[in-house]
Structure 1
Amino acid sequence: MGLDDRDALALLRDAVDPAGGSDELVRGFYTHWFAVDTSARDLFPPDMAAQRQRFAHALTYVLGELVAQRAQQPVEFLAQLGRDHRKYGVTQHHYDSMQNALNSSFRNHFGQRWTDRLAEATHDAVALMIGLMRGAADAEKGPPFCDGTVIEHMRVTRDVSVVRLQLDQPLFYHPGQYVTVQVPQWPRRWRYLSPSIPADRGGGVEFHIRSVTGGMVSTAIIAETRPGDRWRLSSPHGGLHVDRDGGDVLMVAGSTGLAPLRTLIMDLTRWGENPRVHLFFGGRYPCDLYDLPTLWQIASQNPWLSVTPVSEFNVDPPWARDYPDVQPPRGLHVRQTGQLPEVVTRYGNWGDRQILICGGPQMVTATRDALIAKGTPAERIQHDPLAG
């Protein structure tokens, strides 16, 4: 039955689901793969914990979609993975050894529970996943990545930096998309970042980066980035968008989650008429609202945009005096105090709006859940995939 055997596919999905304790299976897969193909080990960073987690979540998602007999989204997902994996230097040989290692790892995991039906479903599912990735990578003729030079690094708060680069060649992306970035301090560790300006034909790009507790890459970027550093950027991902014919818009940004929404807003300024856009921009302290002056400038010239600043605390900490004053001129809405989910839902459920939420996974989840609890249709809410 193969891909039509939903029971067998469900067993495979449950085996790789991190919620069910799949680390032994996933660890065994990588151990087996690296043993039979030593060149594959060089594709990954020394610490594999995060990679194993991402791989398990990706397998769980794809197999879950196959169980539900939904093909379109996993096909698109796997094709994008194949195109994106070119940046690591993945070759056709690596796909062959990966396919063999994954089949063997499933067989070893199930042991005496291994049946002909399970073998057939495993073979067909793995062949489908590897085949889609391999085919998309082989069909893609553009460069797998582009390099650029850091030309400016501004420390705008204690844990947020704005970094501007000049790319060797323009990188074309849609407003709201994100890319993966590799910095010289951490080779082979790619971090997701969203450009904060629309694609520039001259090759300019800007990122807003927030240092995450325990995050090695973000901490290194903020503490060590210097003009002249060479960064590497992958092809773009994501589908956040504003439909100009889809009605008014609510945007909710937590800290550097502002970046993709700022790009969308800047892109909208190309038109004289737009749907109304209301942006809630939140941070822990008032000084964390680092980009308010820019937002005020855009709102002052575009009457369709309104901005509500939100901070959890009403006053700044003493260290705020070491960083630029972010208080905008008079013209923005009065700053609100509280957490974003609570402040946003004070105004109702926004159920008639296109809703875009960007920021940390906890904030995005809390805001989405608060809106849905107020009666917002879930299908009207957009956000990027949350970290697993």
Structure 2
Amino acid sequence: MGMTVQIEPADKSFTVEASQTILEAALEAGITLKHSCRDGQCGECRAPILSGAVSYADPAGIKLEQSDLEGKTGLMCVGHATADLVIEAPEVTELEGISVQKCAGRTMAKEAVSDDVAVLKIAPAPGINFAFKPGQYLDLTVKGYDTRSYSMASTDADALIELHVRKMPDGAVSPFIVDELKPKAIVTIEGPYGTFYVRDSDSPIIMVASGTGFAPVKSMMLDLVARGNTRPVALYWGGRCQQDLYMDQLCQQWAELNRWFSYIPVLSDSVDEGWNGRTGFVHQAVVDDIADMSAYEVYACGAPIVVSSARRDFVELCGLEPDRFYSDAFV
């Protein structure tokens, strides 16, 4: 017999079986709880527990905080209910109407945009409305290979789903996708996942991206432009070298056409000949420019070290409210 999970203040509930994590059961019920990595490493799914208890199959293998150990909070993506639960998750109302689905897709185009990044465009199966919020990600499965997660760089108003795939030197899947996957290939897509999306508020926005962490930022920006946004948005995009900023021209165009948008590219490794832009760590460039972040919202995506460093320094050095830091680390 399953346990009941009550969500406050939304007054929603669902049933979770002993074999399911709380997040799995919620998604199955069409309720999207806050989450990102789905394996207990990023902490995005942490939610306050108002009553009840949560257990973990492998507590040593996940990143628990003291509040989790005390039962005040829990990681919903790896937690199992040991009693009826009441949790606090106000974000669920913002994702109503979006549910996880699994379907076939066909690769319609692939373009190399740098030495190690390819832009992949996929058409969902006919009749499928693959609805998602800009900033979310999907799971991609190519026959014969393991499943991998990729952020969507398009919006659900587009006919094709755009993914940015970086070839990892020791990768089990990405080298095949970048070098060998052919147009018209049949793949499987499942999603959307994640709660990385722009919140509805009047706060100015800082976006921080490293490498292909630009993909969800592109989706967010396309949506903001289409909706006539006027909130100030500053994008800091970091790469090792200039080719890592593989859609630099698009960002420059956004800055030229939208008075509310500013773009600051940052290179961290060897500085390319002719580079006159910022250098160093991308999150440090933000700290140098915006000493007081108390009024801001931050959206950060990319390498885990970039996301964690940004979270730490923005909160500790710049006064950012911790609950205004939204992230999707590529763990």
Q: Using structure 2 for the length normalisation, give the TM-score.
A: 0.69
> What residue is the counterpart of 2:266 in the other structure?
310
Cα deviation digits, residues 20-44 of structure 1 (max 9, x gap): xxxxxxxxxxxxxxxxxxxxxxxxx
Cα distance between partner residues in 2 of 1:266 and 1:382: 18
Does 2:102 align with 1:182?
Answer: no
Deviation at 1:353, TM superposition (A): 1.1
> What residue is the counterpart of 1:348 in the other structure?
290
Given the superposition, is the C-alpha separation of residues 386 and 289 from structure 1 closer, same or farther in structure 2, using an over 3 Å criterion? closer
Q: Percent identity?
A: 24
Q: Is the 8 A contact 2:100 2:190 kept in 1?
A: no
> What residue is the counterpart of 2:300 in the other structure?
357
Counterpart AA for 1:360? A
Q: Using structure 1 for the length normalisation, give the TM-score.
A: 0.60
User: SS at 2:218's partner residue?
Assistant: helix
Cα distance between partner residues in 2 of 1:70 and 1:58: 17
Given the superposition, is the C-alpha separation of residues 67 and 164 from structure 1 closer, same or farther in structure 2, using an over 3 Å criterion? same
Q: Is the 8 A contact 2:40 2:62 kept in 1?
A: no
- Structure number with the higher helix fraction is 1
User: SS at 2:328's partner residue?
Assistant: coil
Counterpart AA for 1:176? G
Counterpart AA for 2:114? T
Given the superposition, is the C-alpha separation of residues 339 and 153 from structure 1 closer, same or farther in structure 2, using an over 3 Å criterion? same
Cα distance between partner residues in 2 of 1:157 and 1:316: 17
Counterpart AA for 1:261? V
Which ranges in structure 2 are unaligned for 5 or more consecutive residues?
4-37, 42-56, 86-98
Cα distance between partner residues in 2 of 1:346 and 1:209: 31
Deviation at 1:337, TM superposition (A): 1.4
Counterpart AA for 1:281? W
For residue 215 of structure 1, the aligned residue among 171, 179, 183 is 171
Q: Is the 8 A contact 1:171 1:200 kept in 2?
A: no
Cα distance between partner residues in 1 of 2:261 and 2:175: 33
Cα deviation digits, residues 286-329 of structure 1 (max 9, x gap): 12110011222223222211111111232169xxxxxxxxx9xx
Q: Which runs of 4+ in 1 moved over 3 A?
A: 51-67
User: SS at 1:384's partner residue?
Assistant: strand
Based on CA coordinates, which of the two structures has the bigger radius of gyration?
1
User: SS at 2:255's partner residue?
Assistant: helix
Cα distance between partner residues in 1 of 2:100 and 2:229: 37
Given the superposition, is the C-alpha separation of residues 273 and 360 from structure 1 closer, same or farther in structure 2, using an over 3 Å criterion? closer
For residue 274 of structure 1, the aligned residue among 230, 241, 248 is 230
Does 2:150 align with 1:147?
Answer: no
Cα distance between partner residues in 2 of 1:143 and 1:267: 21
> What residue is the counterpart of 2:95 in the other structure?
none
Q: Is the 8 A contact 1:184 1:229 kept in 2?
A: no
User: SS at 1:174's partner residue?
Assistant: coil
> What residue is the counterpart of 2:327 in the other structure?
383
Deviation at 1:226, TM superposition (A): 1.4
For residue 190 of structure 2, the aligned residue among 200, 225, 234 is 234
RMSD: 3.5
Cα distance between partner residues in 2 of 1:265 and 1:52: 28
User: SS at 2:195's partner residue?
Assistant: coil
Q: Is the 8 A contact 1:152 1:163 kept in 2?
A: yes
Given the superposition, is the C-alpha separation of residues 257 and 369 from structure 1 closer, same or farther in structure 2, using an over 3 Å criterion? same
> What residue is the counterpart of 2:119 in the other structure?
162
Cα distance between partner residues in 2 of 1:316 and 1:229: 39
> What residue is the counterpart of 1:9 in the other structure?
none
- Structure number with the higher strand fraction is 2
Cα distance between partner residues in 2 of 1:359 and 1:52: 17
Given the superposition, is the C-alpha separation of residues 270 and 210 from structure 1 closer, same or farther in structure 2, using an over 3 Å criterion? same
Deviation at 1:60, TM superposition (A): 4.9
Given the superposition, is the C-alpha separation of residues 288 and 385 from structure 1 closer, same or farther in structure 2, using an over 3 Å criterion? closer
Cα distance between partner residues in 1 of 2:273 and 2:83: 53
Given the superposition, is the C-alpha separation of residues 285 and 316 from structure 1 closer, same or farther in structure 2, using an over 3 Å criterion? farther
Deviation at 1:125, TM superposition (A): 2.7
Cα distance between partner residues in 2 of 1:277 and 1:144: 32
